[in-house]
A and B are shown apart, each in its own frame.
Chain A
């Protein structure tokens, strides 16, 4: 088997990915592709990126052996890649720093971003403050209502938060609106996309910035455990934390790659966000990928307890990894994720994000079926402080 080298030059992962955008954006994307190609091979750029990740984000994030929880489950050992310990509390900042450094070199003084739960918005507002750039964050008005704390956080960081009133008023509509802003202000504006979706080169570029997760893990596993894990487990909404962990392992065929989607109230209901498990290929937000859609190709509203997984598409590279069989994709319900959230709090003193709780919940199902010497590496992609109100509400409490 030859080494994995996707996407192709024109941005395709097999039949997925590509550049499905209106003519107005084509030259901006071409410019971005060229600039990224140049700077991704520029030692000065890479050195600055590494410096920022170390001194501003606090990397490397450790791998933590969740011994008490593993013992409780009675099977494989569960290891956690602690992205929750990053500055701003999630993996999102790895990517926003990379894109902000690129924006700065391209002379763009204004950055825009879309956000669902607010994590990517916060990470974008943070780097905009750090580098002295204007920042506008688009957020569905439904999400603005649900995530009031993060909205305030972005404002404290100096960003303008624009509530989006169109469509289902959630993440996908925020993405539409950010695209519209970009089309209008393309000359002075850099669009920081938060996940491995969108038109080429975004899925590749965001993956490359997030690959620090898997690259660190490879070194840390060798140092701490003298071997690589048997499986990697990560939640998948758009899929940036998962691809960041998986990508450096794609050619290591002995390591299973397991992506965990949001089954919401169950994948046999119409209230879930399990795109790869239930969707069909189509074109949305600039790329061809699996989508949750009706028989006429209209995009359907999704549901998940975690806003970060509440998206009707998925990164095109995940679509390809599913089709070619290299990665497996499973789904976890709201209830299962919530149970994993509570369990990790009680057994390890770690409060996970509800997104990451989906990956944990699958690990909790999978580990007991394996012998005790197997190693499962779970990407703990974010911390759960932001979710306390949601969890309290689910338990019938108001804070």
Chain B
């Protein structure tokens, strides 16, 4: 762990806003903590339903209450995703959206928005094809703040994390209900930015979220993890978003947003997704008026 990220952590917990030293992700969580609010992190796939709309959609998500954006890099074989996100990947790939195209979208987003953290999410092979070092340099140049590669578990991530560290990009890792305790400690050592807790067994888009299990597991995670914890998988509506916000530092919503994109015409897409996000934002903030902070 680099000195900078330790400082970031200290800042996060002391609530100090040493803005110069913090990256965008740490700054965002620090600011939210001050306001006693939880982060809302929407996921969209870059280039879905077409490459032209992605940057507008990113801005609209921010206007509608997003604190951090997760941008999916489309892949031909998204093994850990359910049918909804698979379809979003297929739509983007019909337009041949490549990793370089995704970097281009982030660069364009950064022309207007220099504050909102952007986290890329995807699968290993497009990164393998580009090479770790080239990926990290390009990602830094266009303004990416964190990267989560689903099929790079800590065991296979030594060199990968080094390359991201060199460019001061956060390597974000998953934890799941099946992660045993000693692995939690191992992941805690490598992870930066925030931890993405996958709140159920299965693929993205499934619907059987067990809040009691999430609550118990998060309590356990906090014994080892000082980073903010985001919870994703299975968050379908205001009620689940609100419930999860009561337990975690961040609420990640993916498949539900993709469903909204799917059923919207191009003309109504931005408004529909914006309205959905607004309603989730409201539900989450409402929650925070009634509960104690969890950290």
Contacts and interface: CB of A to CB of B under 8 A. Distances in A.
A26 B82 contact: no
A281 B128 contact: yes
A26 B178 contact: yes
A326 to B, nearest CB: 24
A154 to B, nearest CB: 23
Nearest to B178: A27
A284 B125 contact: yes
B77 A24 contact: no
Nearest to B93: A298
Contact of A298 (B76, B130, B173, B203): B76
Interface string A246-285: 0000000000000000000000000000000000111111
A282 B125 contact: yes
B124 A28 contact: no
Most buried by B among A21, A23, A286: A23
A299 B76 contact: yes
Nearest to A168: B76
A225 B49 CA distance: 64
A180 B83 CA distance: 10
A184 B79 CA distance: 12
B78 to A, nearest CB: 8
A23 B99 contact: no
B183 to A, nearest CB: 7
B153 interface: yes
A14 to B, nearest CB: 14
Q: How large is the interface on A (under 10, 10 to 19, 20 to 34, 35 or more residues)?
A: 35 or more
B178 A28 contact: yes
Contacts of A373: none
Nearest to A24: B176
A395 B202 CA distance: 46
A93 interface: no
Interface residues of B, number: 44
B176 A19 contact: no
B180 A297 contact: no
Interface in A284-312: 284-286, 288, 291, 293, 295-299
Contacts of B258: none
Nearest to B177: A24
Interface string B207-234: 0000000000000000000000000000
Contacts of B96: 296
Interface in B134-174: 150-153, 155-156, 173-174
Contact of A26 (B79, B86, B153): B153
A37 interface: no
A118 interface: no
Contacts of A286: 151
A393 interface: no
B101 to A, nearest CB: 9
Contacts of A185: 201
Given A24-B80, A27-B178, A298-B76, A183 B153 contact: no
Interface in A1-39: 10, 18-24, 26-28
Contacts of A176: 77-79
B178 A296 contact: no
Given A28-B178, A180-B82, A10 B126 contact: no
Contacts of A149: none
A376 interface: no
Contacts of B125: 282-284, 291, 293, 297-299
B98 interface: yes
A186 interface: yes
B112 interface: no
B127 interface: yes
B179 interface: yes
Q: Which 8 A-B pairs have the closest CB atoms?
A: A297-B129, A297-B126, A184-B202, A283-B124, A23-B174, A296-B98, A22-B80, A297-B125
30 contacts: A19-B155, A20-B152, A22-B174, A23-B153, A23-B176, A23-B179, A26-B155, A27-B180, A166-B90, A167-B90, A172-B77, A176-B77, A179-B79, A180-B202, A183-B201, A184-B203, A186-B178, A186-B201, A280-B129, A282-B129, A284-B77, A286-B151, A288-B128, A296-B96, A296-B126, A297-B129, A297-B130, A298-B76, A298-B126, A299-B77
